[in-house]
Structure 1
Amino acid sequence: MRTGWVSLSLAALLGAGLISGCQSTTYGGATHSSRSQFLMVPSAEVNQSAALAYNKELTKAREAGTLNTNKAYVARVNAISRRLIAQVGVFRPDALSWPWQVNVFQSDEVNAFCMPGGKIGVYSGLIDKLKLTDDELAAVLGHEISHALREHSREQMSQEVAKQEGLSIVGALAGLSGGAIDLANVASKFVFTLPFSRTMESEADIMGLELMARAGYNPEAAVDVWRKMEQLGKSGAELLSTHPSSATRIQDLQSHLPQVMPLYEAAKNKYRSTP
């Protein structure tokens, strides 16, 4: 994908007071999903560019006749997404007012995403090949939404900007500057191409676990998703990978179930008669 990023310099960002420095993008919730993050690329720039890229993908899929072609899948994904989005205020209240969008792409790819600012996409292959239940689909969507809430793409881009400038984090925050940065290349790498770090993937797993529990979906289903992924052969080895292995993810998810099961028990009756 290509986005509408402009070239910015670190000096310009510093001069405009746009570097956020070290902070957390979210409150912790019951699972304490919070961590100090290095954020020097403006959130507004990230979200705007992600929205442009998302619209390009919609246009491409529409022209190919692969956008929202399965009405049953579209209804399921939208219903589950609405319930999850209703809970995001626990972690960051401003996300409740994001211009959320949800679409389903007809594709054999076993994947889903949530771009910065709340742009959700689900590939039909994810549902078809894994035979996902609603609870399991909620686990996947909760995970992807959590990446957006934590602004993991913005965090990775910020790290890359500092690296390209040849500055340490301390130097960047002290006001040192370098040459111009092509954020278009950074965006294409870190939003759409390269995987998130192990830490980010683990954060999204656990925050997503809490989101789905609060939305009345059984968090135990998150474990089932990764067991299915293992069977499909998509997990890969943890060594030489930036992602945790499926075995590690399952163990981590199981260790957090005691924190979120009471949330699920409190919420499930509310949604008993809804998808």
Structure 2
Amino acid sequence: MHPALPPHTPSDDHPTGCWCAQDGACAPAGTPRSLWQARRAFLLLGGAATASATLPAWAQVDVGASSRLRHLVPAEELEQAAEQEYAKLLQEARSQGKLVPAGDAQTQRLQRIAQALIPHTAAWNERARQWQWSVALIRSNDINAFCMPGGKIAFFTGIIDKLRLSDDEIAMVMGHEMAHALREHSREQLAKNTATSLGISLGAQLLGLGDVGNYAARLGGQLLSLRFSRNDESDADLVGLEIAARAGYNPNAAVSLWEKMGNATGSNANGLAFLSTHPSGPERIRELQRNVPRVTGLYEAARRR
């Protein structure tokens, strides 16, 4: 933020008592200096966020820029909270004999697919270059998988076994979950949730009056229960589709995956944690079908390498 200069000599352009930054921006007379500085900092941050949230120049899918609300929650603190929550989850699974060993063929299968996808993630979020990516497989009948902020991935055996997922379909699930982390949907949702739970208006937070960042960073326990918006789900579908295609996985598998999800919904209402937060439906499948041709060339090029 540009530092503010002391009140200056009154003139037509600068009324008595106003504050100015070194770049010439002027606050109205009577505005408390701390409030003006906080508001100006947010506005400058917003401009930087818009620039950093632009899509990769070569992106084939059409998704909008990430929400600027996510900047109300510090990325580093949320990633640290996610790492701690992930470690607790794995420790609990290990103590119950449910953590599938790293040498197991299914775990190695997931790791192989993750290693193919990871090189294509940083274009969607520069922070991903520094993430310590991790993949775990947990024995559970639940149809579920997730990727926490910072690249912490977990699959439950139920989603692989019950849906009989191919490598291509696993890549679509994993790409979708990675996309949620890359597009920082948890960060945005926690900012919204925290504003509500603290009773602080977003307007007040934008002016620097709410401690939303520090509070939200302590809510790592909410990461596994967040429900994303329909736009977030569409966003993750398309970004994940492109990442997987660039890694050499057949984009048509996204369609067959969600057809299987739809069939699972109709046959059994139990153990569908994934579907409770990622509802299937005809429109979701139609949108994927419309976008498969956009990334087919990327898939074919990857297969030729």
TM-score by length of 1: 0.82
CA RMSD of aligned residues (A): 2.8
Q: CA deviation at 1:184?
A: 7.1
Aligned mate of 2:264, from 197, 220, 232? 232
Aligned mate of 2:165, from 125, 132, 136? 132
Contact kept? 2:205, 2:212, Cα under 8 Å: no
Match of 1:159 in 2: 192
Aligned mate of 1:219, from 251, 261, 266? 251
- 221-230 or 164-173, larger mean C-alpha shift: 164-173
For the residues of structure 2 that align with 1:221 and 1:108, how far apart are their CA atoms? Answer: 22
Aligned residues: 252
> Residue deviations 1:46-75, cap 9 Å, x none?
000000000011111111111124811111
- Label 1:162 to 1:234 Cα distance change in 2 as closer, same or farther (>3 A): farther
- Label 1:55 to 1:36 Cα distance change in 2 as closer, same or farther (>3 A): closer
Match of 1:258 in 2: 293
- 120-129 or 169-178, larger mean C-alpha shift: 169-178
Structure number with higher relative contact order (C-alpha < 8 Å, ≥ 6 residues apart): 1
Q: CA deviation at 1:133?
A: 0.5
- Does the residue aligned with 1:49 lie in a helix, a strand or coil? helix
Q: CA deviation at 1:206?
A: 0.5
Unaligned runs of 5+ in 2: 1-34, 270-275
- 166-175 or 199-208, larger mean C-alpha shift: 166-175
Match of 2:143 in 1: 110
Unaligned runs of 5+ in 1: 1-10, 271-275
Q: Does 1:45 align with 2:102?
A: no
> Residue deviations 1:220-264, cap 9 Å, x none?
10000010111112699xxxx875542111011111112111111
For the residues of structure 2 that align with 1:95 and 1:147, how far apart are their CA atoms? Answer: 12
For the residues of structure 2 that align with 1:231 and 1:104, how far apart are their CA atoms? Answer: 24
- Does the residue aligned with 1:233 lie in a helix, a strand or coil? helix
For the residues of structure 2 that align with 1:26 and 1:257, how far apart are their CA atoms? Answer: 22
Contact kept? 1:218, 1:264, Cα under 8 Å: yes
Q: CA deviation at 1:27?
A: 2.7
For the residues of structure 1 that align with 2:152 and 2:277, how far apart are their CA atoms? Answer: 24
TM-score by length of 2: 0.74
